[in-house]
Structure 1
Amino acid sequence: MWHQNGLCQENTIPIRRTKKEDVFRASSIRRYGKKTHLSTPNPSSVDPAMLNENGHQHAIAYVEGDKYYGAKATINVWQPSIQQGNEFSLSQLWILGGSFGQDLNSIEAGWQVSPDLYGDNNTRLFTYWTSDAYQATGCYNLLCSGFIQTNNQIAMGASIFPISNYGGSQYDINILDPKEGNWWLQFGNDYVLGYWPSFLFSYLADSASMIEWGGEVVNTEPDGSHTSTQMGSGHFPEEGFGKSSYFKNIQVVDSSNNLKAPRGIGSFTEQSNCYDVQNGNNGDWGTYFYYGGPGKNPNCP
């Protein structure tokens, strides 16, 4: 939407202005622009008792067990409702290396609604990275050094428009993250946005060991109750096209830098009565899945 107010001059890039109100909304200056710990889904650990400890819930598809040099997806864009300002809802791809301990490396890109970070409920394009499981390194967009933007047409953290409507028009974005010495990010078919230098990472210096696609929300409700923050469209996968949110044409990049369909794809969610995921495959959409949900409902109190 920022294109309505003009474009950047040659040899400059768009950087979203940080205001003092943005910093004041953060829990601390040190944590401004950062995710909380344990925000990457771990399909090998399904412990509902952990949900109120870290607050993050997911509905994802994933592959592991090979070397991956990038990933691609077409992501359906929505504007999910957020219950509280310190919660968020996002849809993204994760490129992961290392273990799910303190040495996790993660590169992430997609769309999010985060009132705490942006001060509104707009759906925004974002990136993220960390080399130590969200402890000290990394941040959203350009809020710290790391991601090097080379494109002046697309703004990190800018609002995406138009967005999908329930039972109406559907809109999506293409995200491609291939490795060519560094981890390059492509938006749509025409825009190479920039790159994460390989020296930022230890386990992602050469390749990734896991790729994930899907949704994430934060639940800050106490005492075991559940937030009504939506994931995706806010509707369950079984409602299908035009009603549930989807990822389609998901692919991975092999060692020859070629895109191919993922093999042995799995799915994961902590609480399927709150947010769920259903995989599929056909000639038009390739490998795809529907995902998301309303959060709090009679089966997810």
Structure 2
Amino acid sequence: MDLSSPIICLLLHSLVFVSLFYCNNSLETRNPLVNQTFQSEDELLKLKETIAIRLKKLNKPAVKTIQSPDGDIIDCVLTHQQPAFDHPLLKGQKPMDPPEMPKGNNRINNFSESIQLWSLSGESCPNGTIPIRRITEQDLLRANSDSRFGKKLPVGSNDRQYALQFVEDGEFYGAQATMNVWNPQGESKSVFSLAQMWVHPNFYGDRRTRFFIYWTADAYQHGCYNLKCPGFVQTNKAIALGAAISPVSTYNGNQFEISLFVWKDVKTGNWWLRYGDKDLGYWPSSLFTNLKNAAARVHWGGEIFNEQYEQASSTQMGSGHFPEEGYKKASYFNHIYVIDSKRVWVQPPKLKNYADSPNCYNVKGGVDSSWGTYFYYGGPGKNKNCP
């Protein structure tokens, strides 16, 4: 992977995609291997052997295994044996302790917070381990190619729509936001809907809302989700990247949120990720070049991917309702902050709105004493004004 021009989009359009979620893919796939009629039993056997060898390499030895109610298998892997340390720049290293977060108004709301399905029953990984969602044969088949598994493929400029706010032309050393969690509906099995501090999935095989991250070092030409390839160093045993989230918000009902933070440690140059009050881990500074300094741009908002971009999609973004409907009805981000050049959390200056199809999906924001900087976003997609 070319590390010369990093982009992480995780709140920072130069850092990592910490993204939330909303995946609308099914177990079906266009992978020719799935529906192929094999000429002989030997060919089928060879394929199975190839997949078995690949899975053995991808899945690290587990100290403990946990069966999630949604069918996922969570492996508790020793922290020093996690995939990150297979990276040639990280070999021989051990996870670092979390640094102190920069000072500022980075408080977490008192709303009900969503947690992950695999831990609902009280299950947890032992100290000294991290939870990793096990990769399965179906995961590899959905990737269309073994070599592309866990990596984001290049996409066209017309196959996605956005409703977001952003700040640019600055010097940012971190970003944060709280967002309510929904489970949008998609019109087909080949679309997905995201809320992100920035991301996107194509390999989970179900319609559950999930939390995952993505990072790239070459302007999105190549990149990697979660721990599918070496890079992100996880330090927390409570959150499994890529695992399903529960509960989710309901229209005019209970709202459930998560808070995400990304910031640069001035001592090491590493970019840290926090989920609520839990430090999840970091992207080592050695992975990047430009991000050894600051990020110049930060995005928050929603994204829809639609392969049939010639016509509007009826896939929901967020709750599936427009920003004008407001609290308990529309999706939102609030308590939006960035870390400025003085290394303190501040409300971002000159936030800009962007919606490429406002009659399909839109964004509307403001500032108040309770939520600080906030915005509502989303929409139903195809409607009488969005044909």
Structure 1 and Structure 2 fold alike (TM over 0.5): yes
CA distances 1:194-228 after superposition (whole Å, capped 9, x unpaired) = 00112212221211000000011101115x21221
1:75 and 1:27 map into 2 onto residues whose CA distance is 32
Query: Which of the numbers 342, 345, 354 marks the counterpart of 1:268?
Result: 354
Verify: 1:56 aligned to 2:141, yes or no.
no
Query: Which of the numbers 146, 167, 171 marks the counterpart of 2:231?
Result: 146
Verify: 1:84 aligned to 2:188, yes or no.
yes
Cross-structure match for 1:287? 373
1:226 and 1:35 map into 2 onto residues whose CA distance is 23
Query: Which of the numbers 96, 119, 129 marks the counterpart of 1:12?
Result: 129
Work out whether residues 148 and 194 of structure 1, in 8 Å CA contact, stay in contact via their aligned partners in 2: yes
Matches within 5 A, 1:205-224: 205-221=292-308, 224=310
Q: Which amino acid aligns with 2:177?
A: A
Verify: 1:191 aligned to 2:278, yes or no.
yes
1:221 and 1:92 map into 2 onto residues whose CA distance is 22
Work out whether residues 220 and 227 of structure 1, in 8 Å CA contact, stay in contact via their aligned partners in 2: no
Cross-structure match for 2:106? none
2:177 and 2:119 map into 1 onto residues whose CA distance is 24
Query: Which of the numbers 138, 144, 149 marks the counterpart of 1:21?
Result: 138
Larger displacement relative to structure 2 (169-178 or 19-28)? 19-28
Q: Residue 297 of structure 2 aligns to a residue in which SS?
A: strand
Compute the displacement of 1:177 (Å).
Answer: 0.3
Cross-structure match for 2:172? 68
CA distances 1:73-112 after superposition (whole Å, capped 9, x unpaired) = 0011100012222221111114xxxxxxxxxxxxx6xxx7
Q: Residue 118 of structure 1 aligns to a residue in which SS?
A: coil
Cross-structure match for 2:114? none
Unpaired stretches in structure 1, ≥5 consecutive residues? 40-49, 95-107
Verify: 1:243 aligned to 2:360, yes or no.
no
Cross-structure match for 1:101? none
Q: Which amino acid aligns with 1:27?
A: N
Query: Which of the numbers 200, 203, 208 marks the counterpart of 1:117?
Result: 203
| CA 195–69 in structure 1, closer or farther in 2 if over 3 Å, else same | same
Q: Which has the larger radius of gyration?
A: 2
Unpaired stretches in structure 2, ≥5 consecutive residues? 1-116
Cross-structure match for 1:299? 385
Compute the displacement of 1:243 (Å).
Answer: 0.6
Compute the displacement of 1:56 (Å).
Answer: 1.6
Compute the displacement of 1:231 (Å).
Answer: 0.7
1:133 and 1:37 map into 2 onto residues whose CA distance is 10
1:166 and 1:205 map into 2 onto residues whose CA distance is 42
* Deviant stretches of 4+, over 4 Å: none
Verify: 1:204 aligned to 2:291, yes or no.
yes
Alpha-carbon RMSD:
1.6
Q: Which amino acid aligns with 2:354?
A: F
1:151 and 1:266 map into 2 onto residues whose CA distance is 34
Work out whether residues 285 and 292 of structure 2, in 8 Å CA contact, stay in contact via their aligned partners in 1: yes
Q: Which amino acid aligns with 1:157?
A: G
2:292 and 2:347 map into 1 onto residues whose CA distance is 23
CA distances 1:235-259 after superposition (whole Å, capped 9, x unpaired) = 1111111110000010001234311
Q: Which amino acid aligns with 1:144?
A: C
1:29 and 1:84 map into 2 onto residues whose CA distance is 24
Larger displacement relative to structure 2 (5-14 or 160-169)? 5-14
Compute the displacement of 1:26 (Å).
Answer: 2.0
Q: Residue 272 of structure 2 aligns to a residue in which SS?
A: strand
Cross-structure match for 1:30? 147
Query: Which of the numbers 263, 270, 287 marks the counterpart of 1:178?
Result: 263
Cross-structure match for 2:250? 165
Percent of pairs with identical residues: 51
Greater fraction strand: 1
Verify: 1:257 aligned to 2:343, yes or no.
yes
Q: Residue 14 of structure 1 aligns to a residue in which SS?
A: strand
| CA 25–38 in structure 1, closer or farther in 2 if over 3 Å, else same | closer
Matches within 5 A, 1:226-237: 226-237=312-323
| CA 283–291 in structure 1, closer or farther in 2 if over 3 Å, else same | same
Compute the displacement of 1:38 (Å).
Answer: 5.4
Work out whether residues 74 and 250 of structure 1, in 8 Å CA contact, stay in contact via their aligned partners in 2: yes
Q: Residue 117 of structure 1 aligns to a residue in which SS?
A: coil
Compute the displacement of 1:36 (Å).
Answer: 3.3
